[in-house]
Amino acid sequence: MKKLLELTVNGEHYEVLVEPKTLLIDVLRDQLGLKGAKRGCDSGSCGACTVLLNGKPVHSCSILALQANGGEILTIEGLADGPNLHPIQEAFLDHWALQCGFCTPGQIIAAKALLDENPNPTEEEVKTAMNGHICRCTGYNMITEAILDAAKRLQEARR
């Protein structure tokens, strides 16, 4: 029997009916049309499905939608401010920190969570925080550089 799920996603309030077995990622992608977060594995290993739930990065493929009931979610679609990209997105573009782009939304969201918590991370701290994300294209270092640069840009913006 379907149950009512209430979510605030990217600032918008939604009410949807879901079967209890529905995963959070599928509600976001299939019912709300937010296709940015992807499914890359069946073992909670790749991080492509990462979204922020109540400010924390989580694997939306390993959470029942109903478990997020009443929660606040940020997906990649909610990051830019209209036509203005977020500094993390700009940094990714400037540093060629993406190639096929499939893992990119999850990576950017996780990077945002990292910089929200730790605005001035070291290279090691970036690598540790991001280690849950598999990228098959870039070899990771260019993403790390983009995140470190994004940290600088965000600090500049704050001044």
Partner 1 sequence: MKNITQNFEYFAPKTVEDALSLLSRYGDKGRILAGGQDLLLLMRQDLIAPEYVIDIKGISDLDYINFDDKEDLRIGALTTHRTLEKSPLVKNRFSILSEMEQNLGSVELRNWGTVGGSLCIGRPCGDPAPLLIVLNGRIKIASLRGERIMSIESFNLAPFEVDLRPDELLVEIQVPNSPPRNGVSYKKFSQLEEDCAFTAAAVSITLNHEKNICDDIKIALSMAPTAMRAKKSEEVLKGKEINANLLAEAGQVASEEAGTLTEQASKGYRKKLVKILSKEVSDQYRRELMKVLVERAGEEALERAKRA
Partner 2 sequence: MKEYSVVGKATRNIDGVAKVTGEARYTFDMTLPGMLYGKLLRSPHPHARIISIDTSEAERLPGVKAVITGKDTPGGKYGPWRRFPELMDEEALVTTKVRFIGDAVAAVAATREDIAKRALELIKVKYELLPAVFNPVEAAKDDAPQIHDGVENNINITRHIEWGDVDEAIKIADYVREDRYELSSQSHAPLEVHDALASFDKSTGRLTVWTSTQSPYYVQLGLADALKMREGDIRVIKPHVGGAFGGKISTYPEQICAAFLSIKTGKPVKIVLNRQEEFAVTRRRTPMYIATKIGAKKDGTIVTKEVKVIADGGAYTALGSTALYLVGIYSSFPYKIPNYRFDGCRVYTNNNPSSAMRGFGGPQAVFISETQIDRLAHDIGIDPIEIRRKNGMTPHYVVPGQATIESCGLHDCIDKVEQKVKEWGELPKYQGVGMVCYGFMSGGIFNWINTPYAFSGAMVRVNIDGTVDLFTQASDLGQGSNTVLAMICAEELGISLKDIRLHVADTGITPVDLGAWGSRQTLMSGNAVKAAAAEIKRKLMDVARIKLGENIVYDLEAKGGRIYLTLRPERGYSYYDIVKDAIRYNDGEPLIGTGHYTPHGKGMVSPAFTFGAQAVKVEVDIKTGRVKLLDIATAHDCGQVINPPAVRGQVEGATAMAAGCGLTEELLSEDGLVLNASLAYYKILRYRDMPHITTLEVHTHEPEGPFGAKEAGEGLTTPTAAAIANAVYHAVGVEINSNPLTAERVFKALKALKKNKAT
Q: By the criterion CB under 8 A, which residues form the site for partner 1? A: 1, 3, 19-21, 23, 26, 39, 41-44, 47, 50, 53, 56-59, 61-64, 66-67, 69, 110, 113-114, 128-129, 131-133
Site string for partner 2, 59-98 (x = CB under 8 A): ----------------xxx-xx----x---x--xxxxx-x
Instruction: Identify the CA nearest to 106 among candidates 13, 158, 33, 41.
Output: 41
Question: At 119, is the secondary structure helix, strand, or coil?
Answer: coil
Q: Could you tell which of partner 2, partner 1, none binds residue 87, using a CB distance below 5 to 8 A set by kind?
A: none
Q: Tokens standing for 49?
A: 């499905």
- By beta-carbon proximity to partner 2, the closer residue of 14 and 140 is 140
* Cα-based torsion angle of the residue sequence 92, 98, 101, 106 in order, rounded to the nearest 10 degrees: -60
- Least distance from C-beta 35 to partner 1, angstroms? 14
Q: Residue written as tokens 């990622």?
A: 25
* CB count in 10 Å sphere of residue 6: 12
Residue from the set 2, 131, 152, 155 that interacts with partner 2 by CB under 8 A = 131
Cβ atoms of 46 and 103 closer than 8 Å: yes
- Least distance from C-beta 159 to partner 2, angstroms? 24
Euclidean distance between CA atoms 87 and 126, whole angstroms: 16
Q: Could you tell which of partner 2, partner 1, none binds residue 113, using a CB distance below 5 to 8 A set by kind?
A: partner 1
